[in-house]
Structure 1
Amino acid sequence: MSVKSEERKIKTTSFIFLSAVGVLWIAPLIWILSTSLKPESAAISWPIRWIPETPTLKNYIDVISNTSEAPILKWFANSLFIAVSHTVLVLFITSLAAYAYSRLEFKGRDKIFWSLMATMMIPPIMNLIPAYSIVNFLGWIDTPWAMIIPGLGGVFGIFLLRQFFLGIPKELEEAAIIDGATLFQIYWKIILPLSKPALVVLALFTFMGNWNDFLWPLIVTNSIEMRTLPVGLSILQGTYNIQYAKMMAATFISAVPVLILFLLAQRFFVKGISLSGVKG
């Protein structure tokens, strides 16, 4: 068997395997969309019909129009504002920290960095009570700040960006210093523009993590108006006594921003993953 035939066989097998995995991943989303377009009686019928016989938008209209018991548009706005604000601040703070750990020389730099990495071994649930105590002391309970500020100095983000920054040639910095650039100007005008793939990957992970977070917003919010979508969906379940068609409509609404973000960022996503973490 020739080399080209072997390569073609490997590519064909890989394509079939990845296509099968892709179908498995997208099937639940298709089922959610399909169910959300069905009347309630058809949503729980058996066998499952992937294509609705009589598609309807009534479930979406009912969910959106219920502004008293389950204000889903308010929850959507809360989640969007909190997730975007948190993501922007995480990118700024972690990129500054990663720049210091990768490009600046100071005593104990590597020891501090690896000590910071060691904190990743601590289960996040152990930080729950201390974090709540701090947020409560600051008077942030039932405010957006309780869901925006905690976690801004994410260790994973610092590690990801540091590894990417280490791959940027130092000659660029040296040339900028000769031209009179300050450290912040080098960070802002050289390092960040060259690190778009890694920044997009971190932004995607951060946004998805904050958007889908359930436990922390449940703990730090009290009023219905301050709830985020994941917490709101649990309220919606009780409101409609598990009316599956309406639940699927609300679930699909909550999935749309993440899907759009991933589709827009996918070309950067692969590049950012492949180029990060290759240098120690």
Structure 2
Amino acid sequence: MRHWRPRGTTTLLTIGGLVMLAPFLWMFSTSLRSAAASVTVPPRWLPTQWHPDNYTRLASDDYPVLRFLQNSVLVSLLATTGIVITSALAGYAFAKLEFRFRNALFGLLLVSLMIPIQVTIVPLYVIMGKLGLIDSPWALVVPALLGAFAPGIPGAFGIFMMRQFFRSTPDALIEAATIDGAGPIRIFFRIALPLAKPALASLTVITFILSWNDYFSPLIFLNSTDIMTLPVGIQSLRPPFGQQSSLVMAAVTVALIPVLLVFVAGQRWIVQGFTRSGLNE
């Protein structure tokens, strides 16, 4: 019986993995069909005729998917950079620096995790309008560069994660550096930050994926087709070009590739970051 338990667990996990993989296989299969074959009844898992030209059409001038891809890369990289920098600075301050109302401010920060973006989108839209950034990618980037928040990205989570990680840094290192005459800024950049590479890497991966998949905020702030990100841009392909499910699925497959690459490259750091961040209360 003991020999059957590992095999049974492996079988169940394999079945569960195939079930979760099925929508992605269907997406890729649909992307290789013709427009008519993508809506046939009953549906078929494999196309009778392969149409890889759906992907080549995405590179044409008629379908600006590559432009959407470029916009998503720019917005995601800038937003991720802003979130990671501000989260690291604020997390270290909450973990290692003493100042008035530190615990109260951190409590308010955690409360903000329970506030959805839909609640704050109106004042944020007004602010971006006053700055003249509506219908500009900077409306998605500026909040991240100015603070640990960006539309669609829970910045408070990044601060909490970095704070928990920095709490695991031995105080003896900080005290030794202080005795040697190092100030808080030098201690942060020379000691704390190099030790936080796992947490920084995992936060980078998580933030990039959230920013890349964000649909609500670009839908609110962006109107022009040439500056849309992929989630909104792919949806905009349908009305002017008809119900071409195969073409849309091809665009979704292209949009999925960067996320998979980033996740595969950083999954080890994600596990390490969460493990180290959970060592302290």
TM-score between both structures, scaled by the size of structure 1: 0.90
Q: Cα RMSD over matched residues?
A: 2.0
- Residues 261-270 or 33-42, more deviating: 33-42
- Residues 84-93 or 211-220, more deviating: 211-220
Q: Is the 8 A contact 2:91 2:163 kept in 1?
A: yes
Provide the secondary structure at the position in 1 that maps to 2:143. coil
1:32 lines up with 2:33 in the alignment: no
Stretches of structure 2 that go unaligned for 5 or more consecutive residues are: 149-154
Tell me the distance in 2 between the aligned counterparts of 1:16 and 1:200.
33
1:197 lines up with 2:204 in the alignment: no
Tell me the distance in 2 between the aligned counterparts of 1:106 and 1:226.
43
Deviation at 1:276, TM superposition (A): 1.8
1:101 lines up with 2:102 in the alignment: no
Q: Which residue of 1 aligns with 2:13?
A: 18
Deviation at 1:86, TM superposition (A): 0.4
Q: Which residue of 2 aligns with 1:185?
A: 186
- Residues 114-123 or 140-149, more deviating: 114-123
Deviation at 1:132, TM superposition (A): 0.3
Tell me the distance in 1 between the aligned counterparts of 2:66 and 2:118.
30
Match of 2:111 among 114, 118, 122: 118
Match of 2:135 among 126, 137, 142: 142
Q: Which residue of 2 aligns with 1:252?
A: 253
Q: Is the 8 A contact 2:32 2:51 kept in 1?
A: yes
Q: Which residue of 2 aligns with 1:173?
A: 174
Give per-residue Cα distances to partners, 1:128-153, cap 9 Å, x unaligned: 10110000011111112101122541
Provide the secondary structure at the position in 2 that maps to 1:242. coil
1:44 lines up with 2:45 in the alignment: no
Tell me the distance in 2 between the aligned counterparts of 1:251 and 1:192.
36
Tell me the distance in 2 between the aligned counterparts of 1:279 and 1:15.
33
* Residue type of the alignment partner of 2:84: L
- CA separation of 1:214 and 1:173: change in aligned 2, threshold 3 A: same
TM-score between both structures, scaled by the size of structure 2: 0.89
Paired residue total: 273
Q: Which residue of 2 aligns with 1:278?
A: 279
Tell me the distance in 1 between the aligned counterparts of 2:53 and 2:74.
27
- Residues 49-58 or 118-127, more deviating: 49-58
Give per-residue Cα distances to partners, 1:206-260, cap 9 Å, x unaligned: 1111111112111111211111111111111112211111111011111111011
* Residue type of the alignment partner of 1:35: T
Stretches of structure 1 that go unaligned for 5 or more consecutive residues are: none
Deviation at 1:268, TM superposition (A): 1.1
Deviation at 1:9, TM superposition (A): 5.7
Q: Is the 8 A contact 2:58 2:66 kept in 1?
A: no
Tell me the distance in 2 between the aligned counterparts of 1:226 and 1:277.
39
Give per-residue Cα distances to partners, 1:79-125, cap 9 Å, x unaligned: 10000110011100111000000011122211211122122222321
